Amino acid sequence: MPRRVAVLSVHTSPLEQPGTGDAGGMNVYIAETAARMAARGTAVEVFTRATSSDLPPVAELAPGVLVRHVAAGPFEPMERAELPGQLCAFTAGVLRAEARHEPGFYDVVHSHYWLSGQVGWLARDRWGVPLVHTAHTLAKVKNAALADGDTPEPRGRVIGEQQVVDEADRLIANTAVEARQLLDLYAADPAKVDTVSPGVDLDRFRPGDRDADRAALGIAPGAFVLAFVGRIQPLKAPDVLLRAAAELIACGAVRREDLVVLVVGGPSGTGLEQPTALRQLAAGLGIDDVVVFLPPQGGDALARIYRAADVVAVPSHSESFGLVAVEAQACGTPVVAAAVGGLPVAVADGVSGLLVHGHRTADWAAALGSLAPPRARAALAHGAVRHARQFSWDRTTDALLHAYAMADQALRHSLARAEVAV
């Protein structure tokens, strides 16, 4: 196993609360796998951009896991479109941190998202260690499934992603679908691609006392509760849930007085341009009396949200995996999800939830309405728990450590061949 891993996460810190801004599933992924690597004896240092002058240069995320805040640009959040201009400064900060140690301090670089991959590419060459890269999302995939009015990813990102795919020693795909996208859309070398599913904290996200969780949230025991958890932006499509909820009331499938719609999260991405748009939509649909907006939740509070819901909706236009879907299912809550990206892996159609093809209001209302009767949800609730148990952060960590070893082996063989050629 590597003694020490340098994890690069330029645009968001694992210390941030997922659900708003740029913080989401990637933050959870980094935090959970880093802590488990450290528990196995591999120290982890996460490099991320400092967004406040109040942040300490180094903070401990967990025993054996340090987060290094690198000064690159102003001490304030920046839009992702502005961050490429700060990659030189960020890279300098990473290289300076390593230069304070003896050569060979880090054994592997693991970059998350294409911005980090650009930094990792240079660090790999400078340090002579393998670069492992996880894209999390791909520009070509997102651009092929844009929500109405959403902004396409810029050409510069497409080019940057291609460079990282070409240079990385190992590529980590969340699902076989994403692995195929890397091969078909970016001409990745099949020998360098590993499929490693994200996990779920099965100790935290588990079935519990639904009535007690509802009481804590002020929700009636007999209500039909639909929930959306995530960043509020067109890509995540929370508007689809609101339109479907309005249709359920209009067609008489659910009584207004019985329906509660929880929207948990904060504006992000292009959603920042109209931060009140979803509230305005609820009012325009005439359902603002049944929709409850809550700020991002973490830890046990998030598990309470999942358990309080009868159904969690994941209507994203693009999703590399869908951590929310697996977390909800681990709590015994069925999921209705869009049949896109990795969601057909995260949700077993007809077993742990339902998959909906497309984003038509009628189709979503039909799927959600079919789960209004408690008996219709009972079998899916049991299936949800069983399905979620396939995923764990320990398995993810084991697979990542194996990928690091394979990348190191490939790099050593490459260097040996180069020496022979000389």
Annotated binding site for UDP-N-acetyl-alpha-D-glucosamine: 17-18, 25, 231, 236, 297, 319, 327
- The C-alpha atoms of residue 204 and residue 387 are separated, in whole angstroms, by 16
Residues with Cβ < 8 Å from 333, sequence gap 6 or more?
306, 307, 309, 310, 311, 312, 381, 384
Tokens of 50: 């400092």
Q: Is 66 exposed, middle or buried (0-12, 13-18, 19+ CB in 10 A)?
A: middle
Contact 109, 130 (CB under 8 A): yes
Strand order in the sheet with 353-356: 291-294, 259-264, 224-229, 311-314, 335-338, 353-356
Bridge partner list, 195: 173
Q: How many Å separate Cα 208 from the centre of its chain?
A: 25
Distances (CA, A) of 281 to 77, 240, 284, 288, 300: 27, 11, 5, 8, 30
Three-class DSSP category at 128: coil
Binding-site residues from annotation for 1D-myo-inositol 3-phosphate: 11, 22-27, 80, 113, 137, 157
Residues with Cβ < 8 Å from 241, sequence gap 6 or more?
226, 228, 261, 263, 313, 315, 364
Binding-site residues from annotation for Mg(2+): 306-307, 309, 333
Contact 330, 302 (CB under 8 A): no
Residues with Cβ < 8 Å from 114, sequence gap 6 or more?
135, 139, 157, 160, 161, 164
Tokens of 24: 């989401």
Q: Which of 261, 281, 263, 264 is nearest to 219 (CA)?
A: 261
Contact 21, 385 (CB under 8 A): no
Q: How many Å separate Cα 47 from the centre of its chain?
A: 18
Count of alpha carbons within 13 Å of 46, Cβ hemisphere only?
Answer: 31
Binding-site residues from annotation: 11, 17-18, 22-27, 80, 113, 137, 157, 231, 236, 297, 306-307, 309, 319, 327, 333
Could you say which DSSP state residue 285 is in?
Answer: T
Buried/exposed 143-178: b ≥16 CB within 10 Å, e otherwise? bebebeebeebeeebbebbbebbebbbbbbbbbebb
